[in-house]
Amino acid sequence: MTDKWRDLGPRLISAVAMLAVAIGAAWTGPLAFAVLVSVATGLMLWELTRMHGPRFRFLPKAAAAAAAVLVFIDYPMLLGALWVYPVAASLILAGILTFGVNNDRRLFAPYAMAALLTGTLLAGLFEVSPSSVLVLLAVVIFTDVAGYFAGKSIGGKKFWPTISPKKTWAGVIAGWIAAGGVGVVAAITGSFEVMVIPVAMLMSFASQLGDIAESGLKRRAGVKDSSNMIPGHGGVLDRFDGVVGASLVLLVYMLLKT
């Protein structure tokens, strides 16, 4: 295997393991899936807080615990009439944590809130529409896979070289096409309107921007990965940065529909 593809093996193994855990939780039921998402959100906040220079040694662990508890408590309310409460709770927790970090507070706060809302949305949405969660995750996965192989195979002009030097226009466009394909399949086989196709492509772009945003945070923090928790992928935040971006688009779309 050439150097260009040397990270493919660890990436595939980790991806299969994560997929197995997610499928197992989903198969068990909404409560187990909510627990999994809450823990994942807590780990993202742990990594994010560590990256931004915590003022107190206990802060990353406290952030992880608070985030996990908040998501688990708030997720039943986000997609109902009480949606303002989980949004406000996420804003308050992100604000409190912001005062506990030393670096890039203006960037930390919105990303922390976005991660919290992502976890809350995934857990809440799975309870009312598991197929919507499947479409969201499929969009992010196919965007990532298509972008990876197109970028490695075709190469070409970089999309945003100063922040994400590995991402190419070929990979970006391949991701949009793949997401559009997911939308077409969802519209044909599922209980989705044709609007799912452009929304899927918009989620794809937001997923790529989420990846770029996290790359920017890591670059400013002087780290390559958010942690070394997942072989071939880095940290939890490295793996789910695209989900954060795509989830925000889906959340806005769903709130506008209500």
Over residues 13-40, the pLDDT tens digits come to: 766 776 787 788 888 889 999 999 999 9
- What is the mean predicted confidence (pLDDT) over 121-141? 90
Classify residue 154 by its DSSP letter.
T
**Residues contacting 8, CB < 8 A, separation 6+:** 1
Range in 48-62, 63-77, 179-193, 230-244 with the lowest mean pLDDT: 230-244
Pick the most confident of 92-96, 150-154, 236-240. Answer: 92-96
SS3 content of the chain, % helix, strand, coil (to 5): 75, 5, 20
Residue 238: predicted pLDDT: 87
Q: What is the pLDDT of residues 52-64, one digit of tens each?
A: 999 999 999 999 9
For the stretch 76-80, contacts whose Cβ atoms lie closer than 8 Å and that sit 24 or more positions apart, written own/partner, are 76/124, 76/127, 77/124, 78/117, 78/120, 78/121, 78/124, 78/251, 79/121, 79/124, 79/125, 79/128, 79/254, 79/258
Residue 81: predicted pLDDT: 77
CA distance 27 to 122: 15
Q: Do 110 and 248 touch, CB atoms closer than 8 A?
A: no
pTM, 2 dp: 0.88
According to DSSP H, which parts of the chain are helical? Answer: 8-28, 30-51, 59-74, 84-98, 105-128, 130-153, 169-189, 196-221, 236-257
Residue 202 token pair = 């918009």
Beta bridge partner(s), residue 234: 230
Q: 2 pLDDT exceeds 60?
A: no
The more confident residue out of 129 and 98 is: 98
- What is the mean predicted confidence (pLDDT) over 176-186? 94
Q: 158 pLDDT exceeds 90?
A: no
CA distance 167 to 157: 9
CA distance 99 to 91: 13
